Amino acid sequence: MKLRFNLSALLAFTALSYARKHHHHHHNETESAFEVITLEAVDASIQAQFIPFGATALAVNVLDKDGEYRDILLGYDEPTRYTNDSNYFGPIVGRYANRIRNGTFTIPISKNAEGPNPFEVVKNEHDGVNTLHGGEVGYNERPWTILNRDNHTVTFALFDSDGFQGFPGDVVSAVTYTLEENSVFKMSIRAIASNSTPIMMSGHHLWNLEGYKETQDLDGHIVQFNSSHFIATDGILIPTGELIPVEGTPMDFNEPRSIGEGIPETEGSEVCGTGCIGYDNCWVYDENNSTEPAFSMWSINSGIRMDVTTNQPALQIYSCNGIKGDIPIPRKASQGGPDTFYENFSCLVIEQQSWIDAINNPEFGIDQIYGPDRAYNWEATYAFSIFEDGSG
């Protein structure tokens, strides 16, 4: 079997093999998987924390309109709490983000996996109806290896073996987080596979640009991105293969508007599933040139603005509709916890990604099958700044 790696993947693979061979020099794996790595930009404009487990981001601190740092990423104060986290607070999700209809696909792909030689992957949602974020043990539940790090950047790598969770082919992934001057948070994910396999990854970060200081809702969060269509889904959020125009619906963010105020407008439309209010949807960017911001959001309360530039063609937004659950989650100390809780509709997951479940919807025309001759490359840059009233 001849593997043609691109350089970054080859480096990742080499370093990973080295790390595995020399593992006895390291601490106990579970211990080191929760080692907190703190990064800071050279100009101290942004600071963030990560752990190897799930290649998870724990905190992102940026300056607000008063020049004070705010932690704008939801999470847990205790790093080991990130295990068995059904809310997916801050990790990399993979090998395949979002949902796979019936946990089944074919290669080459076919409509609803009706073609020959189906692959069945572990189903972990709706009592075994479908797969979510890579199965029972997704990339968020794996200890990644630290490849390299300094004060400003860290790279984590993961070896995912052929057949694990039912996916074909070995996959080596490397994710790099970098903090740059002027409050820039860069993320890059690279992967290479030994055989044809679907790959779709993303960072699953839950944001609140107020850091829970002023309010418990998203009314002060203004969102803007250019998208004419979102992907139609059924009652359990499985894509049907159709696109729905956003015009005249609460799904239209072509002009800046409050996403918090949009949440009650979704009532009755069930865009986020049967009986659901809020957003849990994938929008297709009208055009994405990787150089101009594809997505912008700002808080009129904290003055913090986020502009996202990405090479990805689509965007999943989840408005934390069910985050409170039966057992409320204490907020981090940096966000007023632990005697306060993360409320429903108080945060946004913003995932830059490809079209969801394209592997069961050939009509999308999106090729998510990767292998030795085709490496996977995901990029996103989150640039933070101060929103000045009226400047939009």
Q: What is the CATH number of the domain that holds 196?
A: 2.70.98.10
CB 189 within 8 A of CB 201: yes
For residue 352, tell me if it sits in a domain.
yes
133, 141, 204, 210: the catalytic one is 204
Whether 5 shows a pLDDT value over 50: the answer reads no
The pLDDT tens digits of the residues spanning 86-126 come to 999 999 999 999 999 999 999 999 999 999 999 999 999 99
**Please, is 25 exposed, middle or buried when counting C-beta atoms within 10 Å of its C-beta (0-12, 13-18, 19+)?**
exposed
CB 231 within 8 A of CB 243: yes
Active site residue 180: no
Output the pLDDT for position 16. Answer: 56
Q: What is the mean pLDDT of residues 343-359?
A: 98
How would you classify the pairing of strands 348-353 and 197-198?
Answer: unpaired
| Mean confidence (pLDDT) of the chain | 93
Rounded to whole angstroms, the Cα distance separating 326 from 329 reads 9
How many residues in total does the chain contain?
Answer: 392
- CA–CA distance from 360 to each of 115, 165, 198 (Å)? 10, 18, 11
Whether 4 shows a pLDDT value over 60: the answer reads no
For residue 270, tell me if it sits in a domain.
yes
For residue 1, tell me if it sits in a domain.
no
Q: What is the mean pLDDT of residues 323-331?
A: 94
DSSP state at residue 233: E
Quick one: pLDDT band at residue 30, thresholds 50, 70, 90? low
Nearest-5° angle of CA 133, CA 218, CA 99?
15
CA-CA-CA-CA torsion sign (312, 313, 318, 319): positive
The pLDDT tens digits of the residues spanning 139-153 come to 999 999 999 999 999
Rounded to whole angstroms, the Cα distance separating 357 from 368 reads 9
The pair phi, psi for residue 165, each rounded to 5°, is 60, 5
Whether 32 shows a pLDDT value over 80: the answer reads yes
Whether 368 shows a pLDDT value over 80: the answer reads yes
At a CB cut-off of 8 Å and minimum separation 6, what does 311 contact? 288, 290, 377, 378, 379, 380
The pair phi, psi for residue 102, each rounded to 5°, is 55, 15
Quick one: pLDDT band at residue 10, thresholds 50, 70, 90? low
125, 141, 210, 351: the catalytic one is 351
Q: What is the mean pLDDT of residues 82-89?
A: 95
SS3 305: strand
Give the global pTM. 0.93
Q: Range of 157's domain?
A: 7-383
The pLDDT tens digits of the residues spanning 251-310 come to 999 999 999 999 999 999 999 999 999 999 999 999 877 789 999 999 999 999 999 999
Number of domains in the chain: 1
Rounded to whole angstroms, the Cα distance separating 280 from 291 reads 26
For residue 164, tell me if it sits in a domain.
yes
Rounded to whole angstroms, the Cα distance separating 71 from 12 reads 30
For residue 2, tell me if it sits in a domain.
no
Whether 29 shows a pLDDT value over 70: the answer reads no
Q: What percent of the chain has pLDDT over 90?
A: 89
For residue 392, tell me if it sits in a domain.
no
Quick one: pLDDT band at residue 1, thresholds 50, 70, 90? very low
Active site residue 351: yes
